[in-house]
Chains A and B, each alone.
Chain A
Amino acid sequence: MTMTAYSMKRILGESYPVLILCAILSLSAGLILHSQLESIKTLPLILVMVPPINGINNNVCSILGSRLTSALHIGTIEPKFGKQAILRKNIQATWIMSLGVFIFTSVIFFALSLISGINLLKSLTIMIAFFLASMAAIGVTMFCTIWLAFTSFSKGLDPDNVVIPIVTSIGDIAGVTCLIIAMKIIGV
């Protein structure tokens, strides 16, 4: 065995600070939820909604993030906003995917509300609120993903190590915030 390609010190040294920054960002998502414990008692279904809205939002934007960073490395996308066919197509694909997966998820929440004994009208409202919250969260997180990919690339940071972890933490905050706002609007 010759020299190993990985150094534990390097992996730990590079990752730990980013992980802690992300943890602090995600903790604020926890803090937002903590401030809404009363609403959660009224509608425990909110708890069921937290992992899907955060998880799917993060997955969708991570896929976009890694596609963008690959494209930036190859040079098919330039690190600036504005008219670029390939950037536009990536954004378009991301929206279509989000629409598809969140319509599916919203319908499941409609069914779950009905099963848990909530009446038809209220279940419909919950479904629409979840759907709108997820679309708003995707919009915010997508914008941050593109901006972070461009900025980290321009500054010479490795987008793979920076973009995805920070995007998922911002996604947590966006997901939880949009969910809570939507639930407040429908009056839970």
Chain B
Amino acid sequence: MPQSVNVRAIVIQGLSVLILCAIIEILTGNVMEGMQERITVTLPGLILVIPPLLDLRGNVNGALASRLGTALHTGIVEPKLSMTDELKINVVSSLILSLAASATIGVIASLIGLLFGMSIINFVALIIISVAAGFISGIILTALTVVISIFAYIRGWDPDNITAPLMATIGDLITMISIFIVVLFV
């Protein structure tokens, strides 16, 4: 790819996607601010799990998008929406990873929370929030990743410069909304 590096081209292509991402991230921030009362008063442990849960989504779906990108380019997965074995393995693995890692995040965060003297109600709530939010956002985003990867491939978008940043950003927003919704019920 970067045989000769054109700084102008990278900047123009990258910047337009990044500005869009910035707007979505600020929206995500507003959703987070909407939970201010719970974050600072009622559920002080909540803020522990927010960065890792957002990060996890980006990592799992980023890896899925990157595997799908390669699979589409090499022809292992065809650019249409039908459940082949290849696609199924990728999708199911991502969902299992989401669930297992979200649960682990909840448990580790709770242990850290216990060290910081949080109450037992918080301990259970934190695990429930992590798993439920991880699962809801996992399903939505895995589906979205498959659709966007195939669409991006057909449109000829560069996975490195366009699809990956876009997925990570949409992932942040959907995960934050999922956390928000779950928190309303806990």
Chains A and B bind each other: yes
Is there contact, CB below 8 Å, between B58 and A168?
A: yes
CB distance from A46 to the nearest CB of B (A): 9
A51 to B175, CA, bound (A): 11
Is there contact, CB below 8 Å, between B47 and A30?
A: yes
A23 to B51, CA, bound (A): 8
Interface residue range, chain A: 35 or more
Interface residue range, chain B: 35 or more
What B residues does A89 contact at CB under 8 A?
5, 7
What B residues does A160 contact at CB under 8 A?
66
Is there contact, CB below 8 Å, between A51 and B28?
A: yes
CB distance from B1 to the nearest CB of A (A): 5
Is there contact, CB below 8 Å, between B18 and A101?
A: yes
Is there contact, CB below 8 Å, between B47 and A37?
A: yes
Main secondary structure of the interface of A (DSSP, over half): helix
Binds B, one of A69-77, A119-127, A140-148, A149-157: A69-77
CB distance from B52 to the nearest CB of A (A): 4
Encoded as 1 (CB less than 8 Å from any A CB) or 0, chain B from 34 to 52 comes to: 0110011000110111111
Is there contact, CB below 8 Å, between A4 and B29?
A: no
**A8 sits at the interface (CB 8 A):** yes
- Give B96's nearest chain A residue, CB to CB: A12
**A50 sits at the interface (CB 8 A):** yes
**A186 sits at the interface (CB 8 A):** no
Known: A8-B93, A56-B22, A90-B10. 16 other contacts (CB 8 A): A1-B84, A7-B89, A11-B93, A22-B56, A30-B47, A33-B51, A40-B39, A48-B29, A50-B50, A51-B29, A56-B18, A59-B168, A101-B15, A108-B22, A112-B26, A172-B55
